[in-house]
Structures are given as C-alpha cells and as structure tokens.
Structure 1
Amino acid sequence: MDGMTSPTTQQAALAARYGAATPPAGPWNATIAGMVEHRSVRGYRPDPLPPGTLETLVAAAQSAATSSNLQTWSVVEVADSAARAVMTEVAGNQQHILECPLFLVFLADVGRNERMGIAEGKPLEGTPFLEAFLVASIDAALAAQNAVVAAESLGLSTVYIGALRNDTQRVAATLGLPPGTAGVFGLCVGYPKAGAEGEVKPRLPQSTILHRGRYDASGETAARAAYDAEMSAFSQRNEMAADTWTARVIARNGTIKALRGRDMLAAALRALGFPLK
C-alpha cells in the first residue's frame, strides 16, 4: 500500500488505538494506517481465499528479516479437519480455528539446518543452546507478522493462536514435526463474519513503552490507572468481562494454573529436540 492519509484520519486512527493518551501526529501513509488499525478477529466466514493467497503470504513472510539469514522457521498449512480439531482442543476450543479458511502453524525450526550440517559432515555445535531456540522463535514471529500485514492489506483478517503452546508435543505429533521443530503459535486468516470485525483495542500509553535514553518507570502507575479505565470501557462496549488491564494481567500470569500447561514448556521443548543449554 502507498499514498497519503489525511491528518484527520490519522488522528482518528491514533485516538482509536490510544484513547486520551493519543501521541502527536507524525509521518503517515496507508501502510502505517493499516497497521495502527489492526484488530484480532475471532469469527470467520467459510468463503475461500483467492487462488495463490497462501503463497503470497508466505512470500511476504519470507521477506522478513532473519538472523544471519539462517531462516530457522517453517510454517504448516493445516487443512485437514481432524488436525484442525486437535489444534482447536489444544487451544482451549477456540472455534475460529475450525471456521477460518486458512489456518497456519508457525514453527521454530532448527532441525532443517541440523540435518544440513549432518549431511555435510559438519554437525552444528551451536544449535543445542537456548540462543538457537530464541533466534528461531524470533524469526517465526517476524515472518508471521509480515504475513499478517500482507493479509490485512488484501482485506483479510487474522488472529494469532498462542494457546497452541498449551501442548507443543501434541501439536508436533499431529503435524508430524521432526526433531528440532516446534509450533510456537498458530494464525487464522480469512474474511470476518458480520459483526465479528471488532474494535481497535487500546494499547498502553507510549509513555510506558517509549523510553528516551534511559528506562524511566516513574510515571507508570498513573499511566496504568488511565489505561485501566480505557480498557474497562472497551470491555463494556464489546460485551466482555468489565475488568481492568491490571486485573487481566494478574489473572493471566498470577498463578501457575493460568498457564494452562505452558509451565511445562521447557521440558516439552527438550523432548522435541531443543536441549536449551
């Protein structure tokens, strides 16, 4: 996308994202507008995507930055209904996994390069370390975000499915993943159902995220209180539980039970061929 968007439209987009804490206007174009207007969609029509859409999204994904050009990620298109059902169950019965016309699982994949090293008679001593898994996960995330921006530029909607990490071993068995490969998240892609388009969800004020020169948390408490009010109003407008952002964070990370099995992720990854030394 290219071209310019009017200042009024820019200010409206920023206001939707930040509420009362809207930052000043700056350089702007249609690409940035599309990114600022992103929202997760959890309801999809069964309409098929145009031919070649998957390959176009993968081309966009492969055009993302990748550490040292190692390209330690892969992606699986999950079209089989039985496999989709497993993904849905692992992810806490999120029905949009079954609904969407395209469901992808992005993988941290050091196995491909390990196999290359063995084939060349030069086993890779660096891959068993935590760094290799971290790089592979970052590569997968960068690639997927490129795919999301591309999809939304085509009028499609998306939502990430991090809950696949509830049971990485079951995901791996279902998708036939080789050692050194693990699903780090899924991605639904498709056309939203009427009424499922959703509203742009407010984000924390830039004052809590952007630090100039040195990290400064001095205004964090006041900014969080203002953001809690924004999120409470957003929840009420969207018929969600009318709690605050603070309450959601505590509920999500306050107990081991809330991790839904992901407290065992390190052990599961080791079983899948990531020693994480």
Structure 2
Amino acid sequence: MKAIDVQNLVKRFGDKTVVDDVTLSVEEGEISGFLGPNGSGKTTTIRVMCGLLTPDEGNGKVLGYDLRADQLKIKRQVGYMTQKFSFYTDLTIEENLYFVARLYGLSPARDYVRDTLDKLGLTSRKNQLSGFLSGGWKQRLALAACIMHKPKLLLLDEPTAGVDPKARREFWDEIHTLAADGMTVMVSTHYMDEAERCHRINYISYGKLLTSGTVKEVVDEAGLLTYILTGRNSQSAAKMLTTLEGVDQVTPFGNSLHVVGRNPDQLKKAVSEATEKFGVSCEVGETTLEDVFIQYMADSTDNMATHSEN
C-alpha cells in the first residue's frame, strides 16, 4: 500500500494558486525528498497531506485515509516537524515531551517520555530548558516529539536548516533507522547532499510538480551535459562562456569551471572556443543534482512573487 497517493491537488489563498494540480505517491517505508525554491508550495503541499489544510481541488489518500473526510485520523498517524522550533522555551526537554504525550493521550506518559528520551539520546539533557539548546539539540527535541506517538508517516519541513554538518549527518542516520523500521518519511530540503540520501525525490516549482524519481532518474531526465574546464585562466573563460549560445550555467569551483547546457552541439562549440582562446583544459563531467535544481529554477516563472510561503 502507498503511504501517500494524491491526485490533482490544488490549494489557493485568495487569487494565488499555491499548489497547482500536484499528483504524487510515496511508498510505505520510503524516504521521499521534496525539493523546490522558496515560495514553490512545498510547505502548503505538506500541510494538505497531513490534514492541516483542506485542498480546494483534488483527492487522494494518506495512510489509507481519505484526504478530505478523514483529516483527524490522518493527523493522529502523522508526525509533522515544522521549519521553526515550536516548543515552549521556558520548559525543559522532559517537560515539553510530557506536554506532547498528554496531547496525544499517551499512557502511561512517563514510559513514552522515558523511552523517547533514551531513543534520541536526550536523557542526559532532559532537565535543560529548551530555549537554551543549540540548533542541533532543538532539532533532536523536535524529532523526539514528532515520533513519540509512533506515527506511520513523518513529514519534515526543512528540518536541518541552521544545523551544523555533524548534527545533520546524525539526524539523517536516525531518519534511515526509522525508515528501516517501517516508517515512511517525506522531507523538504534545499541541501543536495540530503536529497541524494532519499530513496526518491520530487521537484516542485511554484506550485507545479515538475519531476519525480530516483536521483539518477531525475538527473537523466533533465537531459543536461556538463564540461569541466580547468586552468589558471578559467575565470576569464567564464566571462566569455556566459555570452555564448548553448551555455545555460557556468559555475566556478576553485580553478575549474562547471559548464552546463542542454544542446550538445552548441555547448561543445562554446567550450571549444573557450579552451582554445584561454588555454584551459576540458573534460566531460558528471551532471549533478544541483545542476538540475538550478536549471529548473532558471526555467520556472514565479507566479506567486508576493506570497511568502516556503
């Protein structure tokens, strides 16, 4: 059974269509990435799928429950971690978890809190006020609160923003452990290394779902070709390349350039001109997910420029 199976979702705020005919599915036990620029509709789509918002059009099921008729049932089976830290800063870690346990009617609450503190490595810090925690520990508290009621689906909205690399890696190790135990996870992120740790990814741009698949499938479908130019004059070559036909992206990496385009003949001609004029070396490179992300952003039109939703 699919954990998420929704069709033709539309959500409007006034005259703004924030989610525009989105159809997607997520298998049980899958980690599904949700990518897109700011204002693309990721957060709104997640809120519709976890029962917090009712779609204006479309239908589907989440965890087998109807998206419109069973919103309360969906809410009780979903863990939703928001972008912003949303717990009481003047309560300790343990007190915040007791509060959440009582909201869900978990009994005995002390057992759920104790087990969750232990599972997320929070026991030694349980008496710390949450307002004084670092970003990584706040993130861990938020995750603990989301999974304490043992949800079947975990929805994470840019969960690692502002967190150091070590904490991010530990967080993702925990997510893979949860998925291995059968939990389905959908996570929105701007970090390409995180997207590559997902089983599948979905790219949404200004309300429209543009592509879905494994990282390899999405990169292959984009049809981009990449050359890597290396040499002391590579930065001078960059200025020229941005003016040539067939070049869509020019990105410096130290003394090298990643040059990306969709038309093989035009791109090859442009790169040949640059290598000959500036004496830089050239080789075919591997197109990355970040290249694809940037290309989709460049090709998309922001039809919600005045809307601040992420």
- Give the TM-score normalised by structure 1: 0.29
- Give the TM-score normalised by structure 2: 0.27
Higher strand share: 2
Higher helix share: 1
